[in-house]
Amino acid sequence: MTDGPHQSPTGPAARAADPNTPQVQLQMLAGDHPELRPLIAQNPNTYPELLQWLAELHDPAVDAALARRAAGTGPRPDPGEDEFSAVRQERPQDYAPSQPRHGYYPAAPTGPAPWESRPGPAPWEAPASQAPYAEPEPRRRHGGTCAILFLILLVAAAAVVAAYFLIFNGVFSGDDEPSEETSISQDQNEQGQDPEETGAQGAESEAPEEEDAEIVRPAPEDAQDIPAFTAPSGNINCIIGEDELECSILDYSFDTEENCDGPARFSVGSEDPQLGCGSTEGENSATLQYGQSAGNGRFACVSSESGFECWNTETGDGFFMARESYQLQN
């Protein structure tokens, strides 16, 4: 087992057809390369949520690929000699289905469908010049006079009842007993409380609570609330704080901008994810097994055999890190 994803020697089309391509990369390819969606639809490693998203696009080429996938037959669309000149051409049946992965599946692409970015009205919407004939509104009948008279009588009756209570039970009743509000004010004065201060406290208690921040990409439901954790191989260490999430990798083969001599450090907070140098080691660090996840409500991480993926649940920004490669997601 390694911490790194499968590395393809060719371009996006080869990774879209390769059954060993990690599911996170298939999800990103489907969102960034619409022309590769038929290949992704026939890839044995494509997970159910991404297949459902592809089916909802109603793309003829994607629908045909999904039909061939369901039937288990049919040739895979040829991506071209220029793209696959460095790899062996194989049919979908030559690939052995990959073993199902347990734990976290990445969400389907959130980008708009192809037709949603096209200008102009939708195919089913008629132009403004060809609007359907609108029938004229029926002429209102002059039957509201009775309703108006009834409302006037109702208001008059309410006024009479209000005047009765004011005269016989209110100000003119001669009742010298203090009202309930006056008794409360006197009790507060006897206890040494300021009425203005009490009113301010009541206003504060009635003020609505601030709404929680909107969650763009929530943590998995089974995420463990642990502040520090390590990959089973011991190559990756992470710390989840209130304002920032940090992870460092000890052994890696990718290049860093600062040419780190030691560990490379990834971080994400309220701003975009960053790559720098330095180690991250927390006290009483626990081992996060493959297929498990950790989070504290604002940040989350998922451990897999391909590597670690961590993100900010409020912004959706994060990073993917492994021994052979990394990716900043924003």
Closest to 316 measured CA to CA, from 302, 330, 326:
330
37 by DSSP, 3-state: which? helix
> Given this model, what pLDDT does residue 322 score?
94
201 by DSSP, 3-state: which? helix
Distance between CA atoms of residues 90 and 17, nearest Å: 10
Q: What does each C-alpha distance from 42 to 66, 269, 319, 327 come to in angstroms?
A: 6, 37, 27, 25
* Cβ atoms of 75 and 133 closer than 8 Å: no
pLDDT tens per residue, range 191-225: 555 556 555 555 455 544 545 678 999 999 999 99
Domain boundaries, the chain: 12-117, 228-329
Q: Which residues pair with 304 in a beta bridge?
A: 307
Is 0.75 surpassed by the pTM of this model? Answer: no
* Cβ atoms of 325 and 319 closer than 8 Å: no
Most confident of 100-109, 115-124, 138-147, 284-293: 284-293
Q: Which residues pair with 277 in a beta bridge?
A: 264
Average pLDDT over residues 304-314: 94
Kindly state the DSSP code that residue 3 receives in the 8-state scheme.
S
Q: What does each C-alpha distance from 214 to 164, 219, 298 come to in angstroms?
A: 53, 13, 10
> Given this model, what pLDDT does residue 121 score?
47
Closest to 294 measured CA to CA, from 330, 243, 245:
245
Given CA atoms 97, 98, 100, 104 in this order, what sign does their dihedral have? negative
Closest to 6 measured CA to CA, from 76, 87, 85, 64:
87
Single-letter amino acid, residue 67: A
Distance between CA atoms of residues 35 and 79, nearest Å: 10
Range name among 177-191, 220-234, 305-319 with the lowest pLDDT average? 177-191
- Say if residue 35's pLDDT is above 60: yes
Q: How many CB atoms lie within 10 A of CB 63?
A: 15
pLDDT tens per residue, range 254-268: 998 888 989 999 999
Tell me the chain's radius of gyration from C-alpha atoms: 33
Kindly state the DSSP code that residue 248 receives in the 8-state scheme.
E
pLDDT tens per residue, range 39-83: 999 999 999 999 999 999 999 999 999 999 988 755 444 444 343
pLDDT tens per residue, range 124-175: 444 444 444 445 555 555 557 888 988 899 999 999 888 888 887 655 555 5
